[in-house]
Amino acid sequence: MSLAVSDRDLPHRDTSDRDIPDRDIPGRDASGRDIPHRDTPDRLPDHQRSPMRFGANYTLGKAWFHGWLDLDLDQVRRDLDGLAALGLDHIRVLPLWDVLQPNRALVRPAAVADVVAVVDAAHAAGLDASVDALQGHLSSYDFVPSWLTTWHRRNLFTDPEALDGQARLVGALGEALAGRPGFLGLTLGNEVPQFAKAAHPDPRPVTPAEADAWLARLLEAARAAAPSSRHTHSYDDDVWFVDSSTFTPRHAVRHGDLLTVHSWVFTGVAHHFPADHPAQTWFARYLLELAAAWARSGAAAGSGAAVRFGDATAAPGTGQRATTRDTARPLWLQEVGAPVPVLGEERVPAFAVDTLANAVTMPGLWGVTWWCSHDVDRSLADFPELEYSLGLLTSDGVPKPLGKAVRDALPGLREAAARMPDARAASALAAPCDADGRVLRSRTAPGSEFFAAWVEAAEAGGPPRIELPGGATAVVQEDGR
Domain parsing of the chain, residue ranges: 2-15+47-480
pLDDT score recorded for residue 137? 81
Per DSSP, the residues of 152-179 read G---TTT-HHHHHHHHHHHHHHHHHHTT
Alpha-carbon distance of 353 to 18, in angstroms, equals: 35
State the pairing for strand pair 137-138/53-57.
unpaired
| pLDDT score recorded for residue 192 | 86
pTM of the predicted model over 0.75: yes
Nearest residue to 309 via CA among 188, 177, 413, 452: 452
CA–CA distances in Å: residue 253 to residues 53, 204, 226, 372, 470: 21, 22, 21, 25, 14
pLDDT of residue 410: 97
3-state secondary structure of 352: helix
Residues in the chain: 481
Please give the chain's pLDDT, 481 residues, in tens: 344 444 444 444 444 444 433 323 333 332 333 333 333 333 344 434 457 899 999 999 988 888 999 999 999 999 999 999 999 999 999 999 999 999 999 999 999 999 999 999 999 999 999 999 998 788 788 888 989 888 888 999 999 999 999 999 999 999 999 999 999 999 999 988 887 788 888 888 999 999 999 999 999 999 999 999 999 999 999 999 999 999 999 999 999 999 999 999 999 999 999 999 999 999 999 999 999 999 999 632 222 333 333 322 222 222 222 333 345 689 999 999 999 999 999 999 999 999 999 999 999 999 999 999 999 999 989 888 989 999 999 999 999 999 999 999 999 999 999 886 554 445 899 999 999 999 999 999 999 999 999 999 999 989 999 999 999 999 999 764 3
Q: What is the pLDDT of residue 30?
A: 29
Please give the pLDDT value at position 382.
85
pLDDT of residue 406: 98
pLDDT on residue 185 = 98
Give the number of other CB atoms < 10 A from CB of residue 19. Answer: 5
The three state secondary structure string of 214-235 is HHHHHHHHHHHHCCCCCCECCC
8 A C-beta contact, residue 88 and residue 81 = no
> Cα–Cα distance between 437 and 62 in angstroms, integer?
49
Contacting residues for 241 by C-beta, under 8 A, at least 6 apart? 268, 441, 442, 444, 445, 446
What contacts 207, CB < 8 A, 6 or more positions away? 246
C-beta separation of 219 from 256 below 8 A = yes
Amino acid at 353: V
Q: Which fold has domain 2-15+47-480?
A: TIM Barrel (3.20.20)
CA angle 172, 174, 180 (to 5 degrees): 120
Measured CA to CA, the distance from residue 295 to residue 292 in angstroms comes to: 5
List CB contacts of 172: < 8 A, sequence separation 6 or more.
Answer: 107, 112, 225
Residue 429 identity (one-letter amino acid):
L
Identify the three-state secondary structure at position 474: strand
Pairing, β 2-4 against β 473-477: antiparallel
Looking at residue 327, its pLDDT comes to: 54
